[in-house]
A and B are shown apart, each in its own frame.
Chain A
Amino acid sequence: MELSPEVSSALRLLGDASKTDNSTYQAVLSAVSADIGAGDGQEVSQPQPPTSGVVSYCHAALTTLFLESVRGGHSTSVVTSTLEDFMWPPDRVNEAIKKLDSHWSVTQTRLSSLGAFPPHIVDVDWQLKYEVRSSGGEVDKARGAVYLVRLHLDGSANSPLTFTCSLAQLTHMVTRLKQATRAVQKYANN
Protein backbone atom coordinates (compact mmCIF):
# COMPACT_ATOMS: atom_id res chain seq x y z
CA MET A 1 0.00 0.00 0.00
CA GLU A 2 1.46 3.37 -0.99
CA LEU A 3 1.10 6.22 1.47
CA SER A 4 2.53 9.72 1.25
CA PRO A 5 5.36 10.80 3.61
CA GLU A 6 2.99 13.12 5.52
CA VAL A 7 0.48 10.34 6.13
CA SER A 8 3.27 7.91 7.08
CA SER A 9 4.80 10.29 9.64
CA ALA A 10 1.39 11.07 11.16
CA LEU A 11 0.66 7.35 11.51
CA ARG A 12 4.05 6.82 13.16
CA LEU A 13 3.15 9.57 15.62
CA LEU A 14 -0.28 8.09 16.30
CA GLY A 15 1.13 4.64 16.99
CA ASP A 16 3.92 5.84 19.25
CA ALA A 17 2.68 5.30 22.83
CA SER A 18 5.28 7.68 24.26
CA LYS A 19 4.11 10.58 22.09
CA THR A 20 0.36 9.88 21.81
CA ASP A 21 -1.35 8.73 24.97
CA ASN A 22 -4.06 6.08 24.89
CA SER A 23 -6.97 8.45 25.43
CA THR A 24 -5.94 10.60 22.42
CA TYR A 25 -5.49 7.48 20.31
CA GLN A 26 -8.94 6.21 21.30
CA ALA A 27 -10.49 9.62 20.54
CA VAL A 28 -8.93 9.66 17.05
CA LEU A 29 -9.94 6.06 16.36
CA SER A 30 -13.56 6.61 17.38
CA ALA A 31 -13.76 9.89 15.43
CA VAL A 32 -12.48 8.19 12.27
CA SER A 33 -14.94 5.30 12.72
CA ALA A 34 -17.81 7.71 13.22
CA ASP A 35 -16.92 9.70 10.10
CA ILE A 36 -16.46 6.69 7.85
CA GLY A 37 -19.65 5.09 9.06
CA ALA A 38 -21.66 8.33 8.89
CA GLY A 39 -24.34 8.72 6.26
CA ASP A 40 -24.43 11.49 3.64
CA GLY A 41 -25.11 14.91 5.02
CA GLN A 42 -24.00 14.07 8.52
CA GLU A 43 -21.37 16.37 9.96
CA VAL A 44 -17.85 15.07 10.40
CA SER A 45 -16.32 15.34 13.87
CA GLN A 46 -14.24 18.37 14.83
CA PRO A 47 -11.22 18.01 17.16
CA GLN A 48 -11.21 19.97 20.43
CA PRO A 49 -8.35 22.32 21.46
CA PRO A 50 -5.62 22.35 22.85
CA THR A 51 -4.33 19.37 20.84
CA SER A 52 -6.50 20.06 17.79
CA GLY A 53 -3.58 20.51 15.33
CA VAL A 54 -1.90 17.18 16.04
CA VAL A 55 -5.19 15.36 16.41
CA SER A 56 -6.47 16.62 13.03
CA TYR A 57 -3.21 15.52 11.43
CA CYS A 58 -3.51 11.99 12.87
CA HIS A 59 -7.23 11.82 12.16
CA ALA A 60 -6.63 12.64 8.49
CA ALA A 61 -3.82 10.07 8.26
CA LEU A 62 -5.84 7.26 9.84
CA THR A 63 -8.84 8.06 7.61
CA THR A 64 -6.55 7.95 4.58
CA LEU A 65 -5.21 4.57 5.68
CA PHE A 66 -8.73 3.15 6.07
CA LEU A 67 -9.95 4.53 2.73
CA GLU A 68 -6.86 3.39 0.83
CA SER A 69 -7.22 -0.10 2.28
CA VAL A 70 -10.78 -0.41 1.03
CA ARG A 71 -10.07 1.35 -2.26
CA GLY A 72 -7.17 -0.93 -3.11
CA GLY A 73 -8.96 -4.02 -1.79
CA HIS A 74 -5.99 -4.81 0.50
CA SER A 75 -6.40 -7.69 2.93
CA THR A 76 -6.14 -7.14 6.69
CA SER A 77 -2.72 -8.80 6.74
CA VAL A 78 -1.38 -6.08 4.40
CA VAL A 79 -2.82 -3.35 6.66
CA THR A 80 -1.44 -5.11 9.76
CA SER A 81 2.06 -5.32 8.30
CA THR A 82 1.86 -1.63 7.23
CA LEU A 83 0.99 -0.58 10.79
CA GLU A 84 3.70 -2.82 12.22
CA ASP A 85 6.18 -1.08 9.90
CA PHE A 86 5.11 2.17 11.55
CA MET A 87 6.01 0.63 14.96
CA TRP A 88 2.46 0.35 16.21
CA PRO A 89 2.02 -1.77 19.36
CA PRO A 90 -0.07 -4.95 18.82
CA ASP A 91 -3.07 -3.79 20.88
CA ARG A 92 -3.47 -0.57 18.85
CA VAL A 93 -3.04 -2.56 15.61
CA ASN A 94 -5.79 -5.00 16.63
CA GLU A 95 -8.20 -2.26 17.62
CA ALA A 96 -7.66 -0.39 14.35
CA ILE A 97 -8.10 -3.56 12.26
CA LYS A 98 -11.33 -4.38 14.13
CA LYS A 99 -12.78 -0.93 13.36
CA LEU A 100 -11.67 -1.17 9.72
CA ASP A 101 -13.33 -4.55 9.30
CA SER A 102 -16.60 -3.42 10.81
CA HIS A 103 -16.87 -0.50 8.36
CA TRP A 104 -15.47 -2.28 5.30
CA SER A 105 -18.67 -2.91 3.32
CA VAL A 106 -20.18 0.51 4.09
CA THR A 107 -17.02 2.22 2.89
CA GLN A 108 -16.90 0.05 -0.21
CA THR A 109 -20.50 0.96 -1.07
CA ARG A 110 -19.84 4.66 -0.67
CA LEU A 111 -16.67 4.53 -2.77
CA SER A 112 -18.45 2.63 -5.54
CA SER A 113 -20.96 5.45 -5.91
CA LEU A 114 -18.17 7.96 -6.66
CA GLY A 115 -17.23 8.54 -10.25
CA ALA A 116 -18.73 9.60 -13.55
CA PHE A 117 -21.71 7.45 -14.43
CA PRO A 118 -24.57 8.00 -16.88
CA PRO A 119 -27.93 8.61 -15.17
CA HIS A 120 -29.13 5.47 -13.42
CA ILE A 121 -32.68 4.23 -14.05
CA VAL A 122 -34.39 3.45 -10.78
CA ASP A 123 -38.07 3.28 -11.73
CA VAL A 124 -40.51 3.52 -14.63
CA ASP A 125 -44.12 4.75 -14.91
CA TRP A 126 -46.47 4.44 -17.86
CA GLN A 127 -49.83 5.71 -19.12
CA LEU A 128 -51.94 4.40 -21.98
CA LYS A 129 -53.94 7.05 -23.82
CA TYR A 130 -56.16 7.20 -26.87
CA GLU A 131 -55.99 10.59 -28.59
CA VAL A 132 -59.31 12.05 -29.65
CA ARG A 133 -58.87 15.65 -30.81
CA SER A 134 -56.23 18.33 -30.69
CA SER A 135 -55.93 22.03 -31.47
CA GLY A 136 -53.79 21.06 -34.43
CA GLY A 137 -56.73 19.40 -36.16
CA GLU A 138 -58.11 15.90 -36.17
CA VAL A 139 -55.86 13.24 -34.74
CA ASP A 140 -54.90 10.46 -37.12
CA LYS A 141 -57.13 7.58 -35.96
CA ALA A 142 -54.68 5.04 -37.32
CA ARG A 143 -52.29 6.02 -34.51
CA GLY A 144 -54.55 4.36 -31.99
CA ALA A 145 -53.03 3.75 -28.58
CA VAL A 146 -50.25 6.06 -27.43
CA TYR A 147 -48.09 5.23 -24.41
CA LEU A 148 -46.49 7.88 -22.24
CA VAL A 149 -43.44 6.37 -20.52
CA ARG A 150 -41.62 8.10 -17.67
CA LEU A 151 -38.16 6.95 -16.54
CA HIS A 152 -37.05 7.99 -13.05
CA LEU A 153 -33.32 8.65 -13.00
CA ASP A 154 -30.77 8.93 -10.22
CA GLY A 155 -28.06 11.49 -10.75
CA SER A 156 -29.59 13.51 -13.57
CA ALA A 157 -31.14 16.95 -13.84
CA ASN A 158 -33.44 15.57 -16.55
CA SER A 159 -35.27 13.25 -14.20
CA PRO A 160 -37.94 12.07 -14.90
CA LEU A 161 -37.37 11.44 -18.60
CA THR A 162 -40.68 11.38 -20.50
CA PHE A 163 -41.42 10.15 -24.00
CA THR A 164 -44.30 8.74 -26.04
CA CYS A 165 -44.43 5.60 -28.13
CA SER A 166 -46.93 3.52 -30.05
CA LEU A 167 -47.90 -0.04 -29.16
CA ALA A 168 -45.48 -1.42 -31.78
CA GLN A 169 -42.63 0.73 -30.49
CA LEU A 170 -43.24 -0.28 -26.87
CA THR A 171 -43.23 -3.91 -27.98
CA HIS A 172 -39.87 -3.25 -29.67
CA MET A 173 -38.51 -1.67 -26.50
CA VAL A 174 -39.72 -4.53 -24.29
CA THR A 175 -38.19 -7.06 -26.70
CA ARG A 176 -34.82 -5.30 -26.43
CA LEU A 177 -35.05 -5.20 -22.63
CA LYS A 178 -35.89 -8.92 -22.53
CA GLN A 179 -32.84 -9.66 -24.69
CA ALA A 180 -30.67 -7.73 -22.21
CA THR A 181 -32.28 -9.58 -19.26
CA ARG A 182 -31.60 -12.95 -20.90
CA ALA A 183 -27.95 -12.02 -21.48
CA VAL A 184 -27.53 -11.01 -17.83
CA GLN A 185 -29.27 -14.14 -16.52
CA LYS A 186 -27.14 -16.36 -18.73
CA TYR A 187 -23.94 -14.96 -17.24
CA ALA A 188 -25.37 -15.00 -13.74
CA ASN A 189 -26.10 -18.70 -14.01
CA ASN A 190 -22.63 -19.60 -15.28
Chain B
Amino acid sequence: MPLTISEDLKAQLSLLTTQNASVLQEFCRLANQYYRQEINPRIYNSASNKLGVQPSQVEDAVRALVFLLIHCTKAKASKLEVEELATSLNFTKDAVMVLADAYTNNEGDIKEYMKSMGVQVPHYNNLEWRFDILAGSRALHHIAEPLITLQLLLDHSSGIQQKNKEDGSGGKCEKILLQTDPNNLVHMTNVLEEALQEARTHHSRRVQQYLK
Protein backbone atom coordinates (compact mmCIF):
# COMPACT_ATOMS: atom_id res chain seq x y z
CA MET B 1 0.00 0.00 0.00
CA PRO B 2 1.57 3.32 -0.95
CA LEU B 3 2.39 5.67 1.89
CA THR B 4 0.40 8.91 1.85
CA ILE B 5 0.68 12.05 3.92
CA SER B 6 -1.63 15.02 4.43
CA GLU B 7 -1.38 18.30 2.53
CA ASP B 8 -0.59 20.18 5.77
CA LEU B 9 2.42 17.97 6.38
CA LYS B 10 3.55 18.44 2.76
CA ALA B 11 3.36 22.18 3.24
CA GLN B 12 5.45 22.06 6.41
CA LEU B 13 8.03 19.87 4.73
CA SER B 14 8.30 22.26 1.78
CA LEU B 15 11.08 24.16 3.60
CA LEU B 16 13.19 21.01 3.59
CA THR B 17 12.57 19.93 -0.01
CA THR B 18 14.48 22.93 -1.33
CA GLN B 19 17.54 22.23 0.82
CA ASN B 20 20.58 20.19 -0.14
CA ALA B 21 21.50 16.85 1.39
CA SER B 22 23.88 18.18 4.04
CA VAL B 23 21.28 20.58 5.41
CA LEU B 24 18.75 17.74 5.47
CA GLN B 25 21.31 15.65 7.34
CA GLU B 26 21.42 18.39 9.99
CA PHE B 27 17.65 18.37 10.23
CA CYS B 28 17.65 14.60 10.64
CA ARG B 29 20.12 15.03 13.50
CA LEU B 30 17.80 17.61 15.09
CA ALA B 31 14.90 15.18 14.70
CA ASN B 32 16.97 12.61 16.57
CA GLN B 33 17.55 15.06 19.38
CA TYR B 34 13.81 15.75 19.41
CA TYR B 35 13.12 12.14 20.47
CA ARG B 36 15.54 12.55 23.34
CA GLN B 37 13.96 15.89 24.41
CA GLU B 38 17.39 17.50 24.08
CA ILE B 39 16.62 20.37 21.69
CA ASN B 40 17.74 23.82 22.78
CA PRO B 41 15.49 26.58 21.33
CA ARG B 42 18.63 28.55 20.39
CA ILE B 43 19.38 25.91 17.80
CA TYR B 44 16.23 26.95 15.93
CA ASN B 45 17.41 30.56 15.98
CA SER B 46 20.87 29.77 14.60
CA ALA B 47 19.42 27.47 11.93
CA SER B 48 16.87 30.11 10.89
CA ASN B 49 19.66 32.71 10.59
CA LYS B 50 21.69 30.41 8.35
CA LEU B 51 18.72 29.60 6.11
CA GLY B 52 17.18 33.06 6.11
CA VAL B 53 13.79 31.97 7.49
CA GLN B 54 11.81 32.43 10.72
CA PRO B 55 12.73 30.22 13.74
CA SER B 56 9.13 29.02 13.90
CA GLN B 57 9.40 27.68 10.34
CA VAL B 58 12.51 25.73 11.35
CA GLU B 59 10.69 24.32 14.39
CA ASP B 60 7.70 23.34 12.23
CA ALA B 61 10.01 21.66 9.73
CA VAL B 62 11.72 19.60 12.45
CA ARG B 63 8.35 18.58 13.89
CA ALA B 64 7.08 17.69 10.41
CA LEU B 65 10.15 15.54 9.82
CA VAL B 66 9.66 13.77 13.16
CA PHE B 67 6.00 13.20 12.33
CA LEU B 68 6.92 11.85 8.88
CA LEU B 69 9.36 9.33 10.38
CA ILE B 70 6.86 8.26 13.04
CA HIS B 71 4.18 7.86 10.36
CA CYS B 72 6.46 5.61 8.33
CA THR B 73 7.38 3.57 11.41
CA LYS B 74 3.71 3.09 12.35
CA ALA B 75 2.92 1.92 8.83
CA LYS B 76 5.97 -0.40 9.02
CA ALA B 77 7.23 1.01 5.73
CA SER B 78 10.20 -0.55 4.01
CA LYS B 79 13.24 1.56 3.03
CA LEU B 80 12.06 1.49 -0.57
CA GLU B 81 8.62 2.81 0.32
CA VAL B 82 10.18 5.65 2.30
CA GLU B 83 12.41 6.49 -0.68
CA GLU B 84 9.37 6.49 -2.98
CA LEU B 85 7.47 8.79 -0.63
CA ALA B 86 10.44 11.16 -0.35
CA THR B 87 10.81 11.26 -4.14
CA SER B 88 7.10 12.04 -4.52
CA LEU B 89 7.58 14.99 -2.16
CA ASN B 90 10.18 16.44 -4.54
CA PHE B 91 13.22 15.81 -2.40
CA THR B 92 16.51 15.62 -4.33
CA LYS B 93 18.06 12.20 -4.93
CA ASP B 94 20.73 12.71 -2.27
CA ALA B 95 18.14 14.02 0.16
CA VAL B 96 16.04 10.89 -0.43
CA MET B 97 19.02 8.70 0.56
CA VAL B 98 19.64 10.80 3.68
CA LEU B 99 16.00 10.50 4.70
CA ALA B 100 15.89 6.74 4.12
CA ASP B 101 19.10 6.30 6.13
CA ALA B 102 17.70 8.39 8.98
CA TYR B 103 14.62 6.17 8.99
CA THR B 104 16.47 2.85 9.10
CA ASN B 105 19.28 3.89 11.46
CA ASN B 106 17.01 5.41 14.07
CA GLU B 107 14.20 2.86 13.99
CA GLY B 108 14.86 1.82 17.59
CA ASP B 109 14.85 5.39 18.88
CA ILE B 110 11.63 6.22 17.03
CA LYS B 111 9.93 3.16 18.51
CA GLU B 112 11.07 4.09 22.04
CA TYR B 113 9.77 7.63 21.55
CA MET B 114 6.42 6.31 20.37
CA LYS B 115 6.21 4.07 23.42
CA SER B 116 6.88 7.05 25.66
CA MET B 117 3.91 8.82 24.07
CA GLY B 118 1.65 5.97 25.06
CA VAL B 119 0.06 5.04 28.39
CA GLN B 120 2.64 5.46 31.12
CA VAL B 121 2.38 3.81 34.53
CA PRO B 122 5.24 3.85 37.05
CA HIS B 123 7.32 0.71 36.66
CA TYR B 124 8.89 -1.37 39.43
CA ASN B 125 12.67 -1.08 39.76
CA ASN B 126 13.67 -2.44 43.16
CA LEU B 127 12.50 -3.18 46.72
CA GLU B 128 14.72 -2.93 49.81
CA TRP B 129 13.51 -3.84 53.29
CA ARG B 130 14.60 -3.27 56.87
CA PHE B 131 13.25 -4.91 60.01
CA ASP B 132 13.06 -2.48 62.98
CA ILE B 133 11.83 -2.65 66.55
CA LEU B 134 10.28 0.63 67.66
CA ALA B 135 11.46 1.09 71.26
CA GLY B 136 9.70 4.36 71.98
CA SER B 137 8.48 7.67 70.66
CA ARG B 138 7.55 11.06 72.04
CA ALA B 139 3.93 9.99 72.33
CA LEU B 140 4.62 6.62 73.97
CA HIS B 141 7.67 5.39 75.87
CA HIS B 142 8.79 1.84 76.59
CA ILE B 143 7.29 -0.12 73.72
CA ALA B 144 8.57 -2.95 71.51
CA GLU B 145 6.72 -2.73 68.24
CA PRO B 146 8.05 -4.69 65.24
CA LEU B 147 7.98 -2.69 62.02
CA ILE B 148 9.17 -3.41 58.53
CA THR B 149 10.39 -0.38 56.58
CA LEU B 150 10.32 -0.78 52.79
CA GLN B 151 12.00 1.35 50.12
CA LEU B 152 10.27 0.94 46.78
CA LEU B 153 12.03 2.28 43.66
CA LEU B 154 9.78 3.13 40.73
CA ASP B 155 10.74 4.33 37.21
CA HIS B 156 8.60 7.04 35.71
CA SER B 157 10.29 7.60 32.36
CA SER B 158 10.47 5.60 29.17
CA GLY B 159 13.48 3.63 27.94
CA ILE B 160 14.95 6.35 25.71
CA GLN B 161 15.26 8.88 28.52
CA GLN B 162 16.81 6.26 30.77
CA LYS B 163 19.53 5.48 28.23
CA ASN B 164 20.61 9.08 28.02
CA LYS B 165 21.30 9.74 31.67
CA GLU B 166 25.07 9.85 31.91
CA ASP B 167 25.24 8.95 35.56
CA GLY B 168 23.23 5.81 34.87
CA SER B 169 20.58 6.86 37.34
CA GLY B 170 17.95 5.61 34.92
CA GLY B 171 15.77 8.65 34.34
CA LYS B 172 13.10 9.76 36.77
CA CYS B 173 13.40 7.21 39.55
CA GLU B 174 11.14 7.70 42.54
CA LYS B 175 12.11 6.40 45.98
CA ILE B 176 9.07 5.72 48.10
CA LEU B 177 9.38 5.00 51.81
CA LEU B 178 6.70 2.67 53.16
CA GLN B 179 6.10 0.76 56.33
CA THR B 180 4.19 -2.31 57.37
CA ASP B 181 3.74 -4.63 60.34
CA PRO B 182 4.49 -8.38 60.39
CA ASN B 183 0.86 -9.41 59.81
CA ASN B 184 0.44 -7.21 56.76
CA LEU B 185 3.84 -8.31 55.46
CA VAL B 186 2.78 -11.96 55.55
CA HIS B 187 -0.58 -11.08 53.97
CA MET B 188 1.11 -9.06 51.20
CA THR B 189 3.60 -11.86 50.48
CA ASN B 190 0.82 -14.45 50.22
CA VAL B 191 -1.32 -12.29 47.93
CA LEU B 192 1.59 -11.58 45.56
CA GLU B 193 2.58 -15.25 45.52
CA GLU B 194 -0.95 -16.01 44.35
CA ALA B 195 -0.38 -13.46 41.59
CA LEU B 196 2.74 -15.34 40.46
CA GLN B 197 0.82 -18.61 40.49
CA GLU B 198 -1.78 -17.12 38.16
CA ALA B 199 0.82 -16.63 35.40
CA ARG B 200 1.70 -20.32 35.59
CA THR B 201 -1.87 -21.57 35.16
CA HIS B 202 -3.16 -23.29 32.06
CA HIS B 203 -5.52 -20.38 31.39
CA SER B 204 -2.74 -17.77 31.31
CA ARG B 205 -0.61 -19.92 29.05
CA ARG B 206 -3.55 -20.26 26.65
CA VAL B 207 -3.99 -16.47 26.55
CA GLN B 208 -0.29 -16.03 25.87
CA GLN B 209 -0.34 -18.67 23.11
CA TYR B 210 -3.35 -17.03 21.49
CA LEU B 211 -1.54 -13.69 21.32
CA LYS B 212 1.61 -15.07 19.71
Contact = CB atoms under 8 A, between A and B. Distances in A.
A and B are interacting partners: yes
A180 B182 CA distance: 9
A190 B124 CA distance: 34
A126 B195 contact: yes
Interface residues of B, number: 58
B117 A136 contact: yes
Interface stretch (B5-13, B19-27, B53-61, B196-204): B196-204
A51 interface: no
Interface in A112-158: 112, 114-115, 117-126, 128, 130, 132, 134-137, 141, 144-145, 147-149, 151, 153
Nearest to A136: B118
A132 B210 CA distance: 11
Nearest to B212: A141
Sort chain A's interface into a size bin: 35 or more
B102 interface: no
B137 interface: yes
A126 B116 CA distance: 24
Contacts of B141: 71-73
A13 B189 CA distance: 56
A179 B148 CA distance: 12
Contacts of A188: 146, 182
Given A163-B121, A163-B123, A174-B189, A120 B180 contact: yes
A114 B139 CA distance: 6
Contact of B121 (A134, A137, A148): A148
Interface in A153-190: 153, 161-165, 167, 169-174, 176-181, 183-184, 187-188
B42 interface: no
Contact of A170 (B73, B196, B207): B196
Given A170-B192, A176-B128, A180-B148, A137 B111 contact: yes
A111 B139 contact: yes
B178 interface: yes
A164 B114 contact: no
A24 interface: no
Contacts of B145: 112
A108 interface: yes
A153 B186 CA distance: 16
A176 B193 CA distance: 12
Nearest to A131: B211
B119 to A, nearest CB: 7
A151 B131 CA distance: 19
Given A121-B180, A128-B199, A137-B114, A115 B137 contact: yes
A183 to B, nearest CB: 5
Interface string B32-59: 0000000000000000000000000000
B115 A117 contact: no
A137 B115 contact: yes
Given A72-B141, A112-B143, A163-B121, A145 B196 contact: no
B80 interface: no
Nearest to A161: B176
B104 interface: no
Q: Which 7 pairs of residues, A with B, have the shortest CB-CB distance?
A: A136-B118, A165-B124, A114-B139, A73-B142, A126-B195, A121-B180, A180-B129
25 contacts: A71-B139, A71-B141, A72-B141, A73-B142, A112-B145, A119-B177, A121-B178, A121-B179, A130-B208, A134-B119, A135-B118, A136-B115, A136-B118, A136-B119, A137-B111, A151-B178, A170-B196, A174-B193, A176-B127, A177-B127, A177-B129, A178-B189, A180-B148, A188-B146, A188-B182
